[in-house]
Structure 1
């Protein structure tokens, strides 16, 4: 298993911190300046303009050549498991799973269905202009983790430090100029209370899960329609109406009925999930399922993916769990469900039996009835808040985040054009930093302009409007900060675990702080 272990370590070095690349650039800087900058040396005062351009050419040639060499030497396996925290699987006795976008991965047809159903809700029930039906659905408009400012009616990406990423702020389908954003927000910082509040009154709403993708497109399309026609609207009510229309697609049962009747069209077909569940079961691990979806919907999907005997693998099955309330509200008891009718029984649940189905409940009763030690539980889910936050913070469970987009993002990060642009962006930024104060402002300003163009190019490599879900231009995104806080592990699919034995230990990389020596680069 040496290869998966090696590849597990690559992400924090290349994809996020890119320390190996930084090391190569550092070597180039040492050769160019013949002195290690952090020791206080500075030769920039003695340079002339031709010296600057000679360094520029040398750095650019090096980056071009290194990017080609790095195509094979530095690559991240998209099927790896990545660690924010140390996790020893030999200590894990119990594996828990969410259903939607964790065990069940959907095709893009589901997003089209949600968009269509919510659109009809807006027109038929909420009396929105029928013309919004003519707005085209762009599957690639939004990305997970964006924020919507309900007061100003703007969709945007925010970084881990609560700063707006310029170039990612949209009113409808129109990008706002940086100058307008700076005027509207008096800079780029968003107060913490606007993003997160203990009373739920924050007016920046984060669209955190994959079911939110159609909602973002609706927000963009409907706002665009109203703006283009000069129709007045209140952005807070607009958000509320669209958000509730999307929620009603789930609560009405229409989506569940359509997907259940056409499982093959909406669920991605794979044998890997069955292999994983079977392997864990055969290794003596105890499995449970906690999902907000209804019983019949889950049963059809699990039968399609795993087989009609899927129930036999799980010790406990909980549907319509009301997460995150399942982890917060300790007053709601479990109810037994009759599998043939799907109706709940009236009798009190005094034990959780294998092969039976339960409704609602709460984590306190779950822990009491199972007797499972939270430190020996590993729970997987796609929703950072509903699935991962409380189990991690309050119950001591180990957690695994399922991020399907990760696979595509890694493939882009592995490409030669992206590596070339990132290498040159970082090298150019070093040149700018090291040659400040030389008196050649025109040269430096030209480099800054080129650097800004590279930042846009590396952003648009992932998504033209909003870039990577994991990064702003140089900082982790707000989404990434929450993922790293609440998920011990993360991966593109639960089936990625098949690459590792059940006694494998995942180790996070010790990433150097800005003031520390990066020993990872020395060891490598």
Structure 2
């Protein structure tokens, strides 16, 4: 039965306005669905702060972090010329893997196939990459490798690649693993001593985008009866300054940013919040020296620190999939909350806006790649046919008499020429497909291509998003484009045999 034959109920126009509105949403305004989620069943909605409620201007943050980290490295005894090197803030994306033994940065697909690799800032050719990573399985859990899985960690990869490049160029012998460990320690030290955080806090408009729709998004959820909580790893002083910048004075109904939330918990220590048993502590005041005391209840208007998943659920009296958590960190926010609880999850991927723009710009090239793939399959079928025909004619020709042998030899020669022509055409087609694919990927990202794909497969990052995030979107405020009672439905999941 086709759509025209379906007998649909006569629904008044004023009741379908929401559906019509959703159908007109642009791609960057949408929430994408991996697993169906009925918002009507969600009682509590929680939010991370950094890179979730607070959308950082990535290039500014990365440049600040890189400069602070390189200064710490020089202070540790690395050559002063390191401070003069050019570190590309565009280099890193989420989902990369650092090979600390060899000084390489890798991008893998969902099956651990290394599709791209750089030594420093120089891309490894396919033969080198194959010899290093395709003959043995990459065991990412060992000490040799390190995931770059957050936006916060992008400067680590940029500094590492740039430092490997410049130190190699100057002929400085360096232990690549020790270099990476020093970079990690330097950037952590820069965060602890205020070299990064204090600069951000004192110039928030430079580093943070203030989304004018954030307050109304939170208000819309509250107005639908949802309870909201803030669960962040940031300390109280930084959290308070950031949240004031994001929400203070946005809506007259809220005298303070804290009134948007029923529970505020800082210094949460995720991902251990989801696995350990650290008790909740309540701050007795807002000053840095004010004492903290054990908390036995979670109350509106109070400020809490640390805590754990089990106590949180027990204290609010809501459990499992009635809680929706919104965060940006695949491991700290999403994976651990999925593995250690049945909380539903929304992953904020602020790179989505650029990813969707690149998809739009590359539609014609993708169509061409698909057409080339179909043409290659047809030509390969022809090639196999003529190869088989040539072999059969050659075998029979040896047993034929003179007249029959000459005819078969001529037919065999014709088949051989056809085989040679098809092979040449296939080589040309492969070059065209490879060049088109490379051009397409460079539109997504100059070094790594699409965030979500590696070749025709999902990238390791894309695979994690698909497996662990119920929903994903580019920013929190996209939730406001849907009813707080919306039913998010996942698309039908098809296997290859269902696509025939």
**Which category describes the TM-score, using the shorter chain as reference length?**
0.7 to 0.9
How far the C-alpha of 1:253 sits from its partner, in A, is 3.2
Which position in structure 2 is the counterpart of 1:128? 78
1:110 aligns with 2:92: no
Which position in structure 2 is the counterpart of 1:381? 327
1:238 aligns with 2:238: no
Which position in structure 1 is the counterpart of 2:226? 285
**Which stretch has the larger CA shift, 350-359 or 490-499?**
350-359
**For 2:32, what is the secondary structure of its paired residue?**
strand
How far the C-alpha of 1:245 sits from its partner, in A, is 1.5
CA RMSD of aligned residues (A): 1.6
Alignment of 1:40-439 (within 5 A): 77-107=27-57, 108-124=59-75, 126-165=76-115, 168-187=116-135, 190-191=137-138, 194-195=139-140, 197=141, 201-307=142-248, 309-330=256-277, 332-343=278-289, 345-415=291-361, 418-436=362-380, 437-438=382-383, 439=419
Corresponding pairs, count: 438
Relative distance call for 1:7 and 1:387 in structure 2 (3 A) is farther
Which position in structure 2 is the counterpart of 1:71? none
Relative distance call for 1:456 and 1:413 in structure 2 (3 A) is same
Q: Which runs of 4+ in 1 moved over 6 A?
A: none
How far the C-alpha of 1:472 sits from its partner, in A, is 0.7
Which position in structure 2 is the counterpart of 1:2? 19
TM-score (norm: length of structure 1): 0.81
Alpha-carbon deviations, 1:151-199, whole Å to 9, x = none? 221001110011001xx21111111111111122244x633xx11x3xx
How far the C-alpha of 1:362 sits from its partner, in A, is 1.1
Which position in structure 1 is the counterpart of 2:432? 450
List gaps (5 residues or longer) in structure 1.
Answer: 9-75, 519-524
TM-score (norm: length of structure 2): 0.85
Relative distance call for 1:424 and 1:472 in structure 2 (3 A) is same
How far the C-alpha of 1:459 sits from its partner, in A, is 1.1
Larger radius of gyration: 2
Provide the C-alpha distance between the structure 2 equivalents of 1:495 and 1:249, rounded to a whole number of angstroms: 31
1:479 aligns with 2:430: no
How far the C-alpha of 1:344 sits from its partner, in A, is 5.3
**Which stretch has the larger CA shift, 369-378 or 81-90?**
369-378
Provide the C-alpha distance between the structure 1 equivalents of 2:378 and 2:299, rounded to a whole number of angstroms: 66
Provide the C-alpha distance between the structure 2 equivalents of 1:160 and 1:318, rounded to a whole number of angstroms: 35
1:491 aligns with 2:455: no
**For 1:379, what is the secondary structure of its paired residue?**
strand
Relative distance call for 1:179 and 1:3 in structure 2 (3 A) is farther
How far the C-alpha of 1:202 sits from its partner, in A, is 4.5
Provide the C-alpha distance between the structure 2 equivalents of 1:491 and 1:498, rounded to a whole number of angstroms: 12
How far the C-alpha of 1:400 sits from its partner, in A, is 0.3
Counterpart contact for 1:388–1:399, Cα < 8 Å = yes
Provide the C-alpha distance between the structure 2 equivalents of 1:357 and 1:254, rounded to a whole number of angstroms: 26
How far the C-alpha of 1:2 sits from its partner, in A, is 2.6
Provide the C-alpha distance between the structure 2 equivalents of 1:151 and 1:161, rounded to a whole number of angstroms: 22
Which position in structure 2 is the counterpart of 1:460? 442
Which position in structure 1 is the counterpart of 2:488? 506
Relative distance call for 1:324 and 1:175 in structure 2 (3 A) is same
List gaps (5 residues or longer) in structure 2.
Answer: 1-17, 249-254, 384-418
**For 2:179, what is the secondary structure of its paired residue?**
helix
How far the C-alpha of 1:7 sits from its partner, in A, is 7.0
How far the C-alpha of 1:393 sits from its partner, in A, is 2.1
Relative distance call for 1:164 and 1:354 in structure 2 (3 A) is same
Provide the C-alpha distance between the structure 1 equivalents of 2:137 and 2:53, rounded to a whole number of angstroms: 35
How far the C-alpha of 1:85 sits from its partner, in A, is 0.1
**For 2:444, what is the secondary structure of its paired residue?**
coil
Provide the C-alpha distance between the structure 2 equivalents of 1:422 and 1:456, rounded to a whole number of angstroms: 11
**For 2:92, what is the secondary structure of its paired residue?**
coil
